[in-house]
Chains A and B, each alone.
Chain A
Amino acid sequence: MSEFLAMGGYGFYVWGAYGVTALAVVVELLALRARRAAALKASTEAVR
């Protein structure tokens, strides 16, 4: 396992690349969920 994480000495670069990618995707998905919730709320309030 620790050998896998070490990535033959390139662990920082490999996980630095993959980690930031994962983080960026999570941020986009959370932002999108918040945007959808806000749009739905505003839309139902607009008809009332």
Chain B
Amino acid sequence: MNLYRYSSPSTFYPLAGKLAPWFGWSALILAIVGLWIGFGIAPTDFQQGEAYRIIFIHVATAWMSMFIYLVMAFWSALSLGFNTRLSGMMAQAMAPTGALMTFIALWTGAFWGRPTWGTYWAWDARMTSELILLFLYFGVIALRNAIDDDRRADRACGVLALVGAVNVPIIYFSVQWWNTLHQGSSISATAAPKMAAIMLAGMLVMAIAVWFYSIAVTLVRVRCIILERERGAAWTGQMTEPGKK
């Protein structure tokens, strides 16, 4: 199969429409399974009590908030380098969901931090850099809305997204580089996880659910963006006739 065939908006539009429901329903099923593990099976934490159950969404969305940014920067780089239309549309489609994930990570972190650390917020390295990530997403979205010409907006947002990408490794390594409030990672690719297997399982299932949700929402949003930006092109009219999917 030639994947480049799907690199134009007119061919990607129907493909995204076919894929989105699969990712969406998978996300829902995985979220139900993950929450069932998280609330039904996983035992109470001996130190944090029931408050630790917040981490099932906190860790999953915090990972996703960083990952979406990197993927957005990747599409921005393609858009800047090759001036391809779909790349800019993909970058545009990811920003709102990235901002949502960042907001949820910050919010759930605060609600976990209050009972566990004794404070909703501290100007800790990890939390501050994650807050900067939220502002970067807002900046990309605001810049996009401020520029009428879509291709110029692609370039401006692309530069901002790429420059902002330096913040992602700062967030990721902040708990190692600075010894402030946020604890280090409980999971590592090279060492045994510092948590019970069933808690880890719940967290990973939730992480995959958040992945699939983000993919589904991005695909639906990029279809909207394609329609908005290709309006008036003959193929969009055919695609959106009543009864067409």
User: Number of residues in A with C-beta < 8 Å to the partner?
Assistant: 26
User: Number of residues in B with C-beta < 8 Å to the partner?
Assistant: 38
The reply to whether B227 and A21 contact each other, CB–CB distance below 8 Å, is no
Residues of A contacting B134 in the complex (Cβ-Cβ under 8 angstroms) = none
Nearest-Cβ distance from residue A31 to partner chain B, whole angstroms: 8
Closest to B24 in A: A29
Residues of B contacting A35 in the complex (Cβ-Cβ under 8 angstroms) = 221, 224
Partner of A21, one of B51, B57, B223, B228: B57
Q: How far is the CA of A25 from the CA of B209 in the complex (A)?
A: 13
Residues of B contacting A24 in the complex (Cβ-Cβ under 8 angstroms) = 100, 103-104, 107
Q: For the complex, is B18 an interface residue (Cβ under 8 Å from A)?
A: no
B144-152, B196-204, B230-238 - interface stretch: B230-238
Residues of B contacting A42 in the complex (Cβ-Cβ under 8 angstroms) = 227-228, 231
Q: For the complex, is A2 an interface residue (Cβ under 8 Å from B)?
A: no
The reply to whether B50 and A46 contact each other, CB–CB distance below 8 Å, is no
The reply to whether A7 and B107 contact each other, CB–CB distance below 8 Å, is no
Q: For the complex, is B217 an interface residue (Cβ under 8 Å from A)?
A: yes
- Which residues of B from 186 to 245 have beta carbons under 8 Å from A? 213, 217, 220-221, 223-224, 227-228, 231-232, 234, 236-237, 239-242
Residues of B contacting A4 in the complex (Cβ-Cβ under 8 angstroms) = 39
Closest to A10 in B: B51
Interface centre among A28, A32, A36, A43 (most CB of B within 10 A): A43
The reply to whether A36 and B115 contact each other, CB–CB distance below 8 Å, is no
B45-61 interface mask toward A, CB cutoff 8 Å, 1 = contact, 0 = none? Answer: 00001110110011001
A3-33 interface mask toward B, CB cutoff 8 Å, 1 = contact, 0 = none? Answer: 0100111100110111011001100110010
What is the interface of chain A, defined by CB distance below 8 A to chain B? 4, 7-10, 13-14, 16-18, 20-21, 24-25, 28-29, 32, 35-36, 39-40, 42-44, 46-47
What is the interface of chain B, defined by CB distance below 8 A to chain A? 39, 44, 49-51, 53-54, 57-58, 61, 96-97, 100, 103-104, 107-108, 111-112, 114-115, 213, 217, 220-221, 223-224, 227-228, 231-232, 234, 236-237, 239-242
